[in-house]
Amino acid sequence: MAPLVPHSHVLVLAAAVFVLGAVCVAARRNLLMILIGVEVMLNAAGLAFVGAALAWRQLEGQAFVIFIMAVAASEVSVGLALIVYSQRRTGTVDADRYNLMKG
Amino acid sequence: MSLHALIFYLLGAVILAATALAVTRHNMMHAVIYLVISFLATALLFYLLGAPLLAALEVIIYAGAIMVLFLFILMMLEIGKSEKSPGAYLLQWLPALGLGAVSLAVATFLLLTQAGAGAVLQSAVAPPPAFGRFLFQRYWLAVEIASFLLLVALVGALYLGLERRDRSGG
Amino acid sequence: MKAVILLLLLFPLGSAVFNAVAGTRLPRRLVETVACLGVLGALGMAAVALVLAGGRAHDLTLLPWFGAGGFSAAMNVHFDPLAAVMALMVTFVAAVIHLYSVAFMRQESDYVRYFCCLNLFVFAMLVITVADSLLFVYLGWEGVGFCSYALIGFWYRDPANADAGRKAFICTRIGDVAFGVALALFFVRFDNFSISYVNAHAPALSPVLATVLALLLLLAAVGKSAQLPLTVWLPDAMAGPTPVSALIHAATMVTAGAYLLMRLFPVVQISPTAMLVIGAVGAVTTLYGAGAALAQWDIKKMLAFSTISQVGYMFLAVGAGDIVGGLFHLVSHAFFKALLFLAAGIVIQALAEEHNIFRMGNLRRLLPQVYWLFLAGAVSLSAFPLLGGFFSKDRILLATFIHPGGAYKIFWFIALAAAFLTPLYTFRAFFVAFPNRPGGRGADEIHPTPAFMARVLWPLAVCALGDGLLNLPGGIGKNFLGHYLAAVPGARPDLAAGLATEWAMGITSAAIVVISMVLAYLRYGRGPAPEPAIAGFWEVLFTGFYLDRLYQLIFVKPYQAASFWLWRQVDDRWDRGLVAAAEAAFRAYWAFTELLWLKVDEVLLDDGVVKTASGLEAASRGLGRWTTGRLSTYLAMLLLGLTLFFGALGVSWLLR
């Protein structure tokens, strides 16, 4: 039983990673990069859960990380399939080009 | 501070640096590689935080499967360089950076000024067998549903990826 | 009882209002019926009230009226025998006249206005009759003045008629001012407008105040009753329709002045000086009126002067302290004067608006009913022994004679002289206009008049001839009226003059009347009656002792000159100044509106509106840029939302 860091530090780290992911989502134009940002955010959430599991000494936190990973995996596969599909259709993965809903 | 704490902060720095680099790379291949580094560091962090199974899974699924998938797609799609001028990037980065900074600042402030913020975690380990037993005893339904979800995703991805003979519709 | 009095007043008022509102839209017969029913209803109510009153005084409050600052006035009624008799007389004569008017005004298209005013007049007169609160009396006082003005000037399209109406109104107004001052004095002294209260507390008045009040009331009465010095309006008032002259200027309004003095007699009584003045006014006016009547050729003007003279008798009665006699003569006079006027009205209509008696004649043959009716009235007016006005006039002369004070003997003599002149002028007119003689009118000149007009006058004739029975000096029904009026303060049922004096007086009066009638017959009754030239002394009488011209000189001309001067100096200059000022103001206004238009309208409003619109448009376009349809924009919005959420959390945590 070694002392680690305060729980809030773990959460701060998770928040920082999450924000990085959010910035990536908001700022990048490439669809793939946006998807990567989403992955980063999910990962940060998992980190937060693991820290919470340690803090509250409950395994539910870790169990939930399993599910997060499952969801992330399925979501990435479908998302990438979509990106491939739309690349075939429109010839670009630039999010700015997908503006048929403009106005 | 103890050794474990030091390792934690080190790993944290690595995660942040790698993620930041990944997010800002223009070359997507580089971005993915940096992200893999980030995930590996996260896995070590998981291990530190007493989740060895999750650490393994992080490496296998996130770094191993998801990122590799990304690489496959990258190579398949042949993403070319964008034609935008350097100055345009500032315009699209600035609002996001600003908002992100604000949210992070507020969140940090909120987290660090909490009542029990200073309480130090005591490390513990969830041995994989115990964790597995726990998972399947308590949350077997969720596991089944997650696998179902994966099946659906598989089917969807397959369907979307099919290249039709006729180019119309799809 | 209260309901009866209320109905008494509301019947004529209601029919007046009804006709005013709906009369022009309803058939003629309906309007006439409503008008007559209004007065007949009032007559019924007056009779019922008389019976119910039983010779006592009743004080009733009909309606609250107004209140201001601690002072409140109500429409109070003091129904004593005096009011009862007066009300009955007024409604009876008014009823006859209304019926007569239906026929008289048969060719008049403006009948609605006529009947409205006539009904309204009856209402106002009844208000004067029964009212207890002096303010209420004043309401009726003004009401009769207005109706008189409206009815005199009924055919207003002829400016002479309108002028006559105005003259009447202005003259009576002078009296009204005096009445107003008296009202104020009453209030100051008694804090109360009630007649019954004032009469009860009259002895508490100081003689000076009583004199002042009585003289003010006299002035008011003089104006309303056309006594000297305000007689000038009554002859001119003959411009109105004849029934109007009969009702207003014979039977009712002109007697309202005398009636007022009788109502407030306890106050008047306190001051012997005032009584003397009242008696003097009455006496002189009787002679004045009689004299002027002698010289008139217009039958209506003659009757007008005769009215002036006879009302003088009533004033004389008040001055002599005999209100029983005054009321008696008032009632008698109402009957026979109305009869005379209405009969003259028939003659005037039959002869196509001929007023000149010297151009009449042969009426006995042509209008036999009217001949007898007029004769009845004339005989009554002349105070022929035992008939009509004999007993009333006799009583007044007696009262004057027995009143202590040398002045009263002089009054008696003057009144006696007038009593001599009365049959003279009456029968002068009668003998000139009515009997058959050569040079009179022919049958072909008669315009047919409805027989109804003459028939409705017979009740009046009977009353005129027989009203002596009301107050016989001796025998059965001795002093009936007097005793009935016993409850009225100041009334003396019995004159207590002593049998010898009474007989002497009676015989003297009778003798004078007979002699006068014989003289009239001798002068006018035989042979043709040439129209005498109006010259010399005759002219003096004809013009009413030049009173009209005197007033013109003293009042009218200076007033006109002053107003002309004022107009020239002040008004005109004012006007020019005003015009210039108005022009300047207008220019300023125009400049101001131009400024407003340019600065405010165009800049503020127009531009402002336009700018607002374009601003909104720009804003919406700006906002529209957010719908880029681009994924990155929406993702950035998500991040923004997240930031805001964090910000809100932080703020709430800070404020905790």
Three-class HEC string of C605-652? HHHHHHHHHHHHHHHHHHHHCCCCCCHHHHHHHHHHHHHHHHHHHHHH
User: And the tokens for B57?
Assistant: 């899974």
Q: Is the domain of C635 the same as that of C490?
A: no
Among candidates A3, A17, A70 on the partner chain, residue whose Cβ is nearest the Cβ of B149: A70
Q: Find chains touching chain B: ≥3 CB pairs under 8 Å.
A: A, C
The answer as to whether B91 is a domain residue is no
Is the model's pLDDT at A26 over the cut of 60?
yes
Chain B interface test: which of A34, A35, A43 (most B C-beta within 10 Å): A43
Q: What is the 3-state secondary structure (H, E, C) of B34-93?
A: HHHHHHHHHHHHHHHCCCHHHHHHHHHHHHHHHHHHHHHHHHHHCCCCCCCCHHHHHHHH
Of the candidate ranges A90-94, B103-107, C411-415, the one whose mean pLDDT is the lowest:
A90-94
Q: Is the domain of C230 the same as that of C298?
A: yes
Q: Which of C496, C527, C545 is the last residue of a domain?
A: C545
Tell me the chain C residues in contact with residue A29 when contact means C-beta distances shorter than 8 Å: 632
The answer as to whether A103 is a domain residue is no
Range of the domain at C656: 626-656
Give the pLDDT mean for B106-111.
89
Whether residue C632 and residue A28 make contact (CB cut-off 8 A), yes or no, is yes
- Decide if A79 contacts A12 (C-beta within 8 A): no
- Decide if C631 contacts A98 (C-beta within 8 A): yes
Q: Is the domain of C538 the same as that of C610?
A: no
In A, minimum Cα distance to B150 occurs at A74
Give every residue of chain C whose pLDDT is below 50, as ranges: none
CA of A75 vs chain B CAs: smallest distance (Å): 7
Query: Residue C476's pLDDT is what?
Result: 55
B110 touches chain C (CB under 8 A): yes
Whether residue A63 and residue B35 make contact (CB cut-off 8 A), yes or no, is no
Q: State how many domains chain A has.
A: 1
The Cα–Cα gap between B47 and C133 comes to 115
Whether residue B99 and residue C646 make contact (CB cut-off 8 A), yes or no, is no
Q: Which of B44, B78, B112 is the last residue of a domain?
A: B78
Q: Is the domain of C210 the same as that of C332?
A: yes
Q: Is the domain of B11 the same as that of B69?
A: yes
Q: State how many domains chain C has.
A: 3
The answer as to whether A95 is a domain residue is no
The answer as to whether A61 is a domain residue is yes
The answer as to whether A76 is a domain residue is yes
A68 touches chain B (CB under 8 A): no
Q: Which of C515, C545, C575 is the last residue of a domain?
A: C545
Backbone dihedral angles phi then psi of residue C131, each to the nearest 5 degrees: -65, 145
Whether residue B109 and residue C643 make contact (CB cut-off 8 A), yes or no, is no
Whether residue A81 and residue B156 make contact (CB cut-off 8 A), yes or no, is yes
The Cα–Cα gap between C482 and C495 comes to 9
In C, minimum Cα distance to A99 occurs at C629
Measured in whole angstroms, the distance separating CA C322 from the mean position of its chain's CA atoms is 25
Neighbours of C620 (CB within 10 A): 9
The answer as to whether A42 is a domain residue is yes
The answer as to whether B9 is a domain residue is yes
Query: Residue B81's pLDDT is what?
Result: 61
Sign of the CA dihedral running C517, C518, C519, C522? positive
C194 forms beta bridges with: C133
Q: State how many domains chain B has.
A: 2
pTM of structure: 0.62
Whether residue B23 and residue A83 make contact (CB cut-off 8 A), yes or no, is no
Whether residue C647 and residue B106 make contact (CB cut-off 8 A), yes or no, is yes
Q: Is the domain of C640 the same as that of C580?
A: no
The answer as to whether B169 is a domain residue is no
The answer as to whether B27 is a domain residue is yes
The answer as to whether A64 is a domain residue is yes
ipTM over 0.95: no
CA of C640 vs chain B CAs: smallest distance (Å): 6
The answer as to whether B115 is a domain residue is no
| 3 state SS of A72 | helix
In C, minimum Cα distance to A103 occurs at C627
CATH number where A74 lies: 1.10.287.3510
- Decide if C330 contacts C252 (C-beta within 8 A): no
Q: Is the domain of C247 the same as that of C307?
A: yes
The answer as to whether A73 is a domain residue is yes
- Decide if C149 contacts C168 (C-beta within 8 A): yes
Query: Residue B170's pLDDT is what?
Result: 45
The answer as to whether A37 is a domain residue is yes
Q: Find chains touching chain A: ≥3 CB pairs under 8 Å.
A: B, C
Q: Is the domain of B144 the same as that of B72?
A: no
| 3 state SS of C389 | coil
CA of C608 vs chain A CAs: smallest distance (Å): 29
Is the model's pLDDT at B169 over the cut of 70?
no
Q: Find chains touching chain C: ≥3 CB pairs under 8 Å.
A: A, B
Query: Residue A98's pLDDT is what?
Result: 78
Whether residue C647 and residue B102 make contact (CB cut-off 8 A), yes or no, is yes
Q: Any idea which residue has 């399993």 for tokens? A: A66
Instruction: Please give the residue that has the higher pLDDT: either A41 or A2.
Output: A41
Contacts with A, B 36-95, CB within 8 Å: 38-39, 42, 45-46, 48-51, 53-54, 57-58, 61-62, 65-66, 69-70, 73-74, 76-77, 79, 82, 92-93, 95
CATH number where B70 lies: 1.20.120.1200
B115 touches chain C (CB under 8 A): no
Q: Is the domain of B142 the same as that of B69?
A: no
Among candidates B5, B74, B142 on the partner chain, residue whose Cβ is nearest the Cβ of A4: B5
Tell me the chain A residues in contact with residue B120 when contact means C-beta distances shorter than 8 Å: 3-6
Range of the domain at A49: 30-90
What is the average pLDDT value for chain C, to the nearest integer?
84
Instruction: Please give the residue that has the higher pLDDT: either C203 or A71.
Output: A71
Whether residue C631 and residue A102 make contact (CB cut-off 8 A), yes or no, is no
The Cα–Cα gap between C175 and C453 comes to 35
Whether residue A98 and residue C630 make contact (CB cut-off 8 A), yes or no, is yes
Q: What amino acid occupies position C519?
A: L
Range of the domain at B36: 1-78
| 3 state SS of C472 | strand
Give the pLDDT mean for A58-85.
93
